[in-house]
Amino acid sequence: MEHPLSVYNTLTRSKQTFVPINPPLVGMYVCGPTVYGDAHLGHARPAITFDLIFRYLKHLGYKVRYVRNITDVGHLENDADEGEDKIAKKARLEQIEPMEVVQYYTDRYHKNMEQLNVLSPSIEPRASGHIIEQTSMIESILKSGMAYESNGSIYFDVEKYNKKHHYGKLSGRVLEDLISNTRTLEGQDEKRNSFDFALWKKAQPEHIMRWPSPWSDGFPGWHLECSAMSARYLGNTFDIHGGGMDLLFPHHESEIAQSIAAHGSEPVKYWLHNNMITINGQKMGKSLGNFITLDEFFSGNHPALSQAYHPMTIRFFILQAHYRSTLDFSNEALQAAEKGLERLLNAWSKIHRLLPSGTSSFQVKTLQEKCEAAMNDDFNSPMVIAHLFEAVRWINAIHEGKEQLTQDDLKLLQDIFYLFAGEILGLVISDGTDSTSDLTEKLMEIIIELRQKARAAKDFATSDLIRDSLKNIGIQIRDTKNGVEWER
């Protein structure tokens, strides 16, 4: 398959031509949520970034097996090896079963993803459903000598691994620096070194989520699930591993170490990471009062929000930045995105009503080439959007009778919008909303016809009433040479 797609690989710190291991198959693994609370912007960005990549790879003709996991066990507080399991803690506070917490927040996560028009992954495995894969991977790592048992728990021996391989190559860290930056071990600590990480933890008596293993009744370490499940569904070496930059270290770094120790091979060809989101220039955090869930964005029900934002506004806002750039959320920035999206969608709906001419003022074909070139340059969605706005200016100029396009070029322009704004950027309003807008379209036709009848009968009181009432609910109607048109 010939195409010049180039992707930025975090591992090599360079852009590389994308060549899958077994074309036309592409294996892609992305770290999914730990389901103990509502999804927020930090969940929306990787989901939308890798949805864009999933959609574009499929557009290029690849058969993509996209695996995005659900973490439902083993993710301890502070992402460390100590403290309570995040899900078990929630279950204890709510006095329900841990799996009730998992089900509740998984369902809510799925609903949010649907609202954001994020496609479902091909496989969505849960950590708790893959304990056997994880214990057998631990056995392989033990056999390689890169892990040790301590009091029923198994830890990865980072120092020993680092003698043969480089622990830190993904995140650019050096083990010697890690040693000087980490706390010294207390006498009773089970680990040989503080930077060693748990593959298996022996469960304390009060720990609810536990499974039998050769070493103890316990539970797997957080990093292990992704290594075990990606190998299970995509093989020991696969094409793309994605996630947020916050997962680079220690999570992804440890995934590489585990896989190399267990399988003797580099697990991932291309590591892709989306950058982080800030809110009004600050890191998002519960203590800062700027922790806003997606539901709160959609309802506007949060003191930091001046209004509700449609899920498509959030999606558009995220895609307006390149996935490797930082992105700062503010009401002003979101309102600007809302206006931009409205202009784009208004122009899109106008294409169908434009009248063709004998000649074309624009080279529509080059628009398609420019959009493709942008996507092939490490999925440059802001550049695609900039090109689509160029088309918006054309559409408005044609609409005002200043420029023209032939029937074929109008059709091509329509196809380009459908492909890039709809299929690839995923900006189509989801099915439920679509039928609402279809209905709105039909109702507006009826209202406009009634107004035309009133005017024809010189009943200006009625025609003005219709116009003013529509204006009151934010709908403007205009008489143009193409007939009566309306817009929100």
Residues that bind Zn ion (CB under 5 A): 31, 226
Nearest to 420 by CA among 453, 480, 379: 379
Min. distance of Cβ 267 from Zn ion in angstroms?
12
In the complex, the smallest distance separating the C-beta of residue 220 from Zn ion, rounded to whole angstroms, is 12
Q: CB of residue 434 vs Zn ion: minimum separation in angstroms?
A: 34
Q: Closest distance between Zn ion and the C-beta of residue 91, in Å?
A: 22
Pair 36, 87: CB distance under 8 Å: yes
Looking at the Cβ atoms of 221 and 311, the one nearer to Zn ion is 221
Closer by beta carbon to Zn ion, 67 or else 371: 67
Give the nearest distance from C-beta 405 to Zn ion in angstroms. Answer: 48
Three-class DSSP category at 13:
coil
Q: Euclidean distance between the first and final Cα of the chain, in Å?
A: 44
Smallest separation (angstroms) from Zn ion to the CB of 31:
3
Residue 286 main-chain phi, psi, to 5 deg: -60, -35
Least distance (Å) from Zn ion to the CB of residue 226? 3
Pairing state between β 238-244 and 25-30: parallel
Measured from the CB atom, the residue of 37 and 242 that comes closer to Zn ion is 242
- Could you give the CA distance from residue 73 to residue 127 in angstroms, rounded to a whole number? 6
78 exposure class (CB count in 10 Å sphere: 0-12, 13-18, 19+): exposed
Residue 181: Cβ within 10 Å count: 10
DSSP string, 422-458: IIIT--SPPHHHHHHHHHHHHHHHHHHHHHHHHHHTT
CB nearer Zn ion, residue 229 or residue 312: 229
Nearer to Zn ion, 254 or 320 (CB): 254
Please give the C-alpha separations between residue 408 and each of 160, 368, 390, 412, in angstroms, as whole numbers: 66, 14, 19, 6
Tell me if 300 sits within 8 A of 309, measured CB to CB. yes
DSSP state letters, 382-400:
HHHHHHHHHHHHHHHHHHT
- Residue count of the chain, please give it: 488
What are the start-end ranges of the H helices in 280-406? 294-299, 311-319, 331-351, 364-376, 381-399
Tell the smallest beta-carbon distance from residue 84 to Zn ion (Å): 20
Residue 226 or 312: the one with the smaller Cβ distance to Zn ion is 226
Kindly state the smallest distance separating residue 433's Cβ from Zn ion, in Å. Answer: 32
| Nearest to Zn ion of 5, 226 (CB atom) | 226
Quick one: 273 or 451, whose CB is closer to Zn ion? 273
Q: Pick between residue 123 and residue 383 the one whose CB is nearest to Zn ion.
A: 123
- Longest C-alpha distance within the chain, in Å? 95
